Amino acid sequence: MNEVKKTDGTITKGIGGFYYVDTADGCIECRARGSFRKEGITPLVGDKVCIIYDEKTKSGAVDKIYPRRNVLLRPPVANVTQMAVVISSASPKPNLYLTDKILASAELSEVDIVICINKTDLDNGKEFFDIYERAGFCVIPISAKNNENIDLLKNKLKDNITVFAGNSGVGKSSILNCITESNAFETGEISDRVERGKHTTRHSELVLLKNGGYIIDTPGFGSFDFSLLNVENAAGLFREFEPYIYSCKFRDCSHTVEKGCAVLKAMEEGVISKSRHESYLRIFEEVKNAQNNN
């Protein structure tokens, strides 16, 4: 008779109604307990689960999903602990507004953030390093081409579930290949890939790293959910504003134009970067317009 066992694990992949659960006893192929469907619950990649399984056949059923720390929409993954935001110092030069939007969305999801400035073989990217280091982020200049500082990045990935975010062409896939020491991720010019992408449905998967930690194999954009934002909390997504926002003259200061605004003063003194404040102004406007339209 086969022995039925119970254990905890992490869902690393979900395809066609099967969930692959990483456990101390290896990878177990599971169905979801029938009642999940009735309850309208779909297990997600990244879910911490309790499973009941057959030790011999390594198959079983997901019996319980532990409470989720967060749920990312694109790619759909639960319990992400960190976002690696990738920009390239050149080719393409970063769009700082989009970068700041991705960062704001990471702050909103309450995940740790590491910023990678890739392609340092083309340009050292010091200008961007300074902006984000000054804002209080962990910034790693890397070159996927020359394998530069990939070890520093690997250290940051330990014990985390990390999603990579950033625009096309910045080198996310190249970096994932460096990290996993493989060629599993398709890289190349953007124009080549758009066509192929149309015909394949991508399922997100967690890839277990040698030194511990998982990366999510489908890079995304930080998806920005404006419904969670309002004009009062938008400034909270810019971590370097924090020390100043309580010193503004007006308690309801929007940090956009007011006299006696401590954030504006810090910007004028060069403590807060102009580009970061400009991004804040644009996000603030967008949030305000969205609020007015509701």
Distance in Å from the first CA to the final CA of the chain: 62
Q: Beta strand 82-88 with 112-118: parallel, antiparallel or unpaired? A: parallel
**Distance between CA atoms of 127 and 132, rounded to whole angstroms?**
9
206 neighbors 123 (Cβ within 8 angstroms) = no
List all residues 6 or more positions away from 7 whose beta carbon is below 8 Å from its beta carbon: 23, 24, 25, 50, 51, 53
Q: Which does 184 bind (CB under 5 to 8 A by kind): ligand GDP, Zn ion, none?
A: none
Q: Under the criterion CB under 6 A, does residue 144 sit at the interface with ligand GDP?
A: yes
Strand partners, 60: 30, 53
Residues 141-170 that bind Zn ion (CB under 5 A): none
Q: Which does 168 bind (CB under 5 to 8 A by kind): Zn ion, ligand GDP, none?
A: ligand GDP
Q: Under the criterion CB under 5 A, does residue 77 sit at the interface with Zn ion?
A: no
| Interface with ligand GDP (CB under 6 A), residue from 59, 149, 180, 187 | 187
Q: Under the criterion CB under 6 A, does residue 194 sit at the interface with ligand GDP?
A: no
List all residues 6 or more positions away from 17 whose beta carbon is below 8 Å from its beta carbon: 31, 32
Of 51-59, 97-105, 170-178, 253-261, the window that binds Zn ion (rule: CB under 5 A) is 253-261
| Interface with Zn ion (CB under 5 A), residue from 116, 253, 266, 267 | 253
CA dist 116 to 9, 60, 83, 128, Å? Answer: 30, 39, 10, 10
User: Measured from the CB of residue 283, what is the shortest distance to ligand GDP in angstroms?
Assistant: 23
- In terms of CB distance, is 130 or 242 closer to Zn ion? 242
| Interface with Zn ion (CB under 5 A), residue from 45, 65, 153, 263 | 263
- In terms of CB distance, is 189 or 269 closer to ligand GDP? 189
Q: Under the criterion CB under 6 A, does residue 170 sit at the interface with ligand GDP?
A: yes
- In terms of CB distance, is 10 or 89 closer to ligand GDP? 89
Q: Under the criterion CB under 5 A, does residue 33 sit at the interface with Zn ion?
A: no
CB atoms within 10 A of CB 5: 14
**Distance between CA atoms of 282 and 96, rounded to whole angstroms?**
12
- In terms of CB distance, is 143 or 279 closer to ligand GDP? 143
| Interface with ligand GDP (CB under 6 A), residue from 121, 123, 127, 286 | 121
Q: Cβ-count burial of 17 within 10 angstroms (0-12 exposed, 13-18 middle, 19+ buried)?
A: exposed
User: Measured from the CB of residue 237, what is the shortest distance to ligand GDP in angstroms?
Assistant: 24
Q: Under the criterion CB under 6 A, does residue 168 sit at the interface with ligand GDP?
A: yes
Q: Under the criterion CB under 5 A, does residue 277 sit at the interface with Zn ion?
A: no
Catalog residues that contact ligand GDP under the rule CB under 6 A. 118-119, 121-122, 143-145, 168-174, 187-189
Catalog residues that contact Zn ion under the rule CB under 5 A. 248, 253, 255, 261, 263
